Amino acid sequence: MSGNRPEATGNPLAHAVKLARETVPPMHPAGRPFVFGGLAATLVLRRFSKPLGVLGALATAATAAFFREPKRVPPARSGLAVASADGLVSLIEEAVPPPELGLPAEPRMRVSVFLSVFDVHVQRIPASGVIERVAYRPGKFLSADLDKASEDNERNSVLMRTEDGHELVVVQIAGLVARRILCEIREGDKVGVGATYGIIRFGSRVDLYLPPGSKVLVSTGQRTIGGETPIAELPTAPHPEG
């Protein structure tokens, strides 16, 4: 009879801590200086005024939430490009990839996801493969939901080749509030689908350029979950160059 009995949960406090860890997302390391600074400011403010201390604590909690990095489970199905970011699909159109990547100046299907300050702001790898090129370009800080943000704003572009030989381009674009793009991958890195590779601080946009022949699976106005939502079905074979 004991073989079918559930195992004892053990220490209730330890169980509660385990549940909290599974429920509350971890924080991306890039957020630690901001959160620690907020905690220090909160302690100073509380010495002068309890209401100010409460406001400082709330602001610090909001900052920690902004830098959250929840665990994501990519689709088991192969041949997909998944969302690189949480947010709202703002544009689906053909466009030429960033010139700094050195690709042919030929339009490709581009899916743009706009991130508000309330969205998770880490970026994730859209498919397993190898990073071929990483290129940063300084620029303006226009509102990330504008069409021209892709061309004019500060950005960091990544060219990768999937395990099936397809070229994918992911572009982190700074927004009206964002002033810092962090990219943690380098040329030659082998990467897995859904893995975190960077973060944009405080409002941004992420563009995904697809290889010719891809079938887009999302619509404008749809919300995406980074590392999980299928953006497109990739062609069965790489598109021939030239």
Q: Among 84, 150, 157, 204, which one carries the catalytic annotation?
A: 204
Q: What is the CA radius of gyration of the chain?
A: 21
Nearest-angstrom CA–CA distance, 111 and 108: 10
Query: Within 13 Å of residue 191, how many CA atoms lie on the same side as its CB?
Result: 27
Angle CA(8)–CA(17)–CA(12) in degrees, nearest 5?
35
- CA 69 to mean position of chain CA atoms: 9
User: Could you tell me which of 55, 65, 76 has the C-alpha nearest to residue 27?
Assistant: 65
Amino acid type, 229: T
Nearest-angstrom CA–CA distance, 161 and 211: 10
Element (H, E) at 182: strand 181-183
User: Could you tell me which of 205, 209, 220 has the C-alpha nearest to residue 94?
Assistant: 209
Please check whether residue 126 is in contact with residue 214, taking contact to mean a CB–CB distance below 8 angstroms: no
Known catalytic residue: 157? no
Element (H, E) at 173: strand 167-174
Catalytic residue ranges: 204
